[in-house]
């Protein structure tokens, strides 16, 4: 044997075609086109072929809305992680630990303050990548603190919803957040401060049945799903076929449930103009 056959081969990690595709490309769920991830991020996750709005990461959302992409995150209270000691296929505490590592956030809501068009605002945004944006006690507390901070600083409140509804791992405690968040935005309205609800894909369950549909203005991104129960559940219950586009933002606008439907790229400008009107400013 000579050096040619005896040399130590370098260890090279084998990369599969699937891993390459997942890292570089995203398939549009509407038209099926493959979208290059870097280009998709530049376009704020809007399909360049059909205009479908994919889900926008929560921090990217905040950067998009605030002047210069600058904002300050509010520190939210630390609550008990697993008040019911819940376990299904795995412990609830293990789920929380996994999603915290995945997202870098403590729970499914971020509350930030900053300026939009020179106007100071408070924005609470739900993170769908954290357990489907589900509303547990931490999310409810985040919405309450956002409203309280808006009242304290006498600034408008904007809540961006993206949620599958109440968090089943917290049972009745999760459902109680519907009443708490409703009371919180009511206090804001009693002070004469604007509350704008931004509905994104999806806004469903206990979130749509509470604070998400209580805005002075309810504004939705085009094509997003808004509703309480899923369309399949409704069809199985009433034994009828639902109309085309049922639960889409445009359908809800036609039936008076949503005030405005806009393209994501126009959302910031539209919100600034609405705030000027509500605050009676030139």
Nearest in space to 114 (alpha carbons), one of 271, 221, 260: 271
State pTM to two decimals: 0.90
Answer for the pair 161, 197: CB distance below 8 angstroms, yes or no.
yes
Structure-token pair, residue 241:
């076929």
C-alpha pair distances (Å), 138 with each of 9, 55, 92, 173, 203 = 52, 22, 14, 10, 18
Q: Give the Cα separation of 256 and 245 in Å (integer).
A: 15
C-alpha pair distances (Å), 12 with each of 5, 16, 19 = 18, 12, 15
Query: In this structure, how many other beta carbons lie within 10 angstroms of the beta carbon of residue 12?
Result: 6
For 162, phi then psi, to 5°, come to -155, 95
Residue by residue, pLDDT tens for the chain (282 residues) are: 554 455 455 555 555 555 555 679 999 999 999 999 999 999 999 999 999 999 999 999 999 999 999 999 999 999 999 999 999 999 999 999 999 999 999 999 999 999 999 999 999 999 999 999 999 999 999 999 999 999 999 999 999 999 999 999 999 999 999 999 999 999 999 999 999 999 999 999 999 999 999 999 999 999 999 999 988 999 999 999 999 999 999 999 999 999 999 999 999 999 999 999 999 865
Answer for the pair 116, 272: CB distance below 8 angstroms, yes or no.
yes
């Amino acid at each position: 044997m000579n050096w040619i056959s005896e040399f130590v081969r370098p260890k090279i990690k084998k990369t599969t075609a699937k891993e390459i595709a997942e890292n570089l490309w995203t398939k549009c769920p509407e038209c099926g086109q493959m979208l290059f991830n870097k280009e998709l991020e530049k376009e704020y996750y809007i399909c360049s072929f059909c205009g479908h709005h994919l889900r926008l990461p929560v921090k990217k959302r905040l950067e998009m809305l605030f002047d210069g992409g600058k904002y300050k995150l509010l520190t939210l209270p630390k609550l008990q992680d697993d008040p019911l000691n819940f376990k299904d296929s795995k412990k609830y505490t293990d789920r929380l630990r996994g999603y915290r590592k995945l997202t870098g956030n403590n729970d499914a809501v971020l509350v930030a303050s900053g300026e939009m068009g020179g106007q100071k605002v408070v924005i609470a945004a739900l993170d769908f990548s954290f357990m489907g944006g589900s509303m547990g006690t931490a999310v409810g507390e985040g919405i309450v603190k956002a409203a309280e901070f808006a009242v304290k600083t006498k600034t408008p409140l904007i809540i961006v919803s993206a949620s599958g509804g109440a968090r089943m791992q917290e049972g009745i405690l999760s459902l109680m957040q519907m009443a708490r968040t409703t009371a919180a935005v009511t206090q804001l309205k009693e002070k004469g401060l604007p509350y704008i609800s931004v509905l994104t894909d999806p806004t469903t369950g206990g979130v749509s049945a509470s604070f998400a549909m209580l805005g002075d203005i309810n504004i939705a991104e085009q094509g997003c799903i808004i509703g309480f129960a899923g369309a399949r559940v409704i069809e199985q219950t009433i034994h009828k076929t639902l109309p085309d586009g049922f639960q889409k933002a445009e359908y809800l606008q036609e039936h008076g449930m949503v005030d405005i439907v806009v393209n994501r790229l126009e959302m910031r400008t539209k919100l600034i103009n609405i705030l000027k009107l509500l605050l009676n400013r030139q």
